[in-house]
Every structure is written in structure tokens, then in C-alpha cells.
């Protein structure tokens, strides 16, 4: 996995909105619920992301830095995301077509 330092330069357009939302200063460290196409719901506080050399979508690791006691580290790709919600209110933050 290749990690990119310059966020806006390297992010694929399809991934930009998802990654921006989860990395946003106002949400970093604040819980988000990532809903995947298979119905999985991932509680996410922070992310690290990168691309395989020929990858078209970002691979995302959650809750690693800093780790949060009792919260699982999860992995997903941005093309699997269908929604991101506020887990405390249930309010949708993003719906992906």
C-alpha cells in the first residue's frame, strides 16, 4: 500500500469526498459510522489510507492512530462505502450513489 502525503494531489476523484469527510478536522477523533455495501457498519474515529500501485480506490484502515480502547481496527475500500452517518444522532453525513 502506498501512502500519499499530499491529500488533494493524489486522491482519486471518487474517493475525495469520503476521505475528506473522515479526515476533516471537525470529525477526526469524533465517531462516524461507515456503512458498507455488504451491510457492515464500522464505528470510525480516525483513518489512515493509501493506494496499491495500480489501485483505483483507496484502502482505509480505521482506529489505528491513536488506537482507542475497546474499538476495533477495521479495513475497507472506498468503493464499498454506501453511507457515512453520525452514530450519536443517526443523521446522514454522506450518501454514496
Mean pLDDT for 77-84 is 95
What pLDDT band is residue 14 in, cutting at 50, 70 and 90?
low
* Cβ contacts of 15 within 8 Å, gap of 6 or more: 57, 58, 78
Structural domains of the chain sorted by starting position, each given as residue range(s) with its CATH number in brackets: 7-87 (2.30.30)
36 touches 80 (CB < 8 A): yes
Mean pLDDT for 66-88 is 94
pLDDT at res. 95: 92
Mean pLDDT for 39-66 is 90
Whether 1 shows a pLDDT value over 50: the answer reads no
Whether 6 shows a pLDDT value over 70: the answer reads no
CA distance 43 to 57: 20
Counting every residue, how long is the chain? 97
By CB atoms closer than 10 A (0-12, 13-18, 19+), residue 74 is middle
pTM, whole model, 2 decimals? 0.82
11 touches 19 (CB < 8 A): yes
What pLDDT band is residue 12 in, cutting at 50, 70 and 90?
low
What pLDDT band is residue 44 in, cutting at 50, 70 and 90?
very high
CA distance 85 to 95: 9
83 touches 69 (CB < 8 A): no
Amino acid at each position: 500500500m502506498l501512502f500519499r502525503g499530499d491529500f488533494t494531489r493524489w486522491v482519486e476523484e471518487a474517493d475525495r469526498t469520503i476521505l475528506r469527510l473522515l479526515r476533516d478536522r471537525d470529525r477526526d477523533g469524533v465517531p462516524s459510522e461507515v456503512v458498507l455495501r455488504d451491510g457492515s457498519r464500522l464505528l470510525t474515529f480516525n483513518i489512515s489510507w493509501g493506494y496499491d500501485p495500480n489501485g483505483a480506490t483507496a484502502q482505509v484502515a480505521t482506529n489505528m492512530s491513536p488506537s482507542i480502547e475497546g474499538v476495533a481496527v477495521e479495513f475497507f475500500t472506498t468503493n464499498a462505502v454506501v453511507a457515512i452517518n453520525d452514530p450519536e444522532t443517526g443523521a446522514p453525513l454522506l450518501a454514496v450513489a
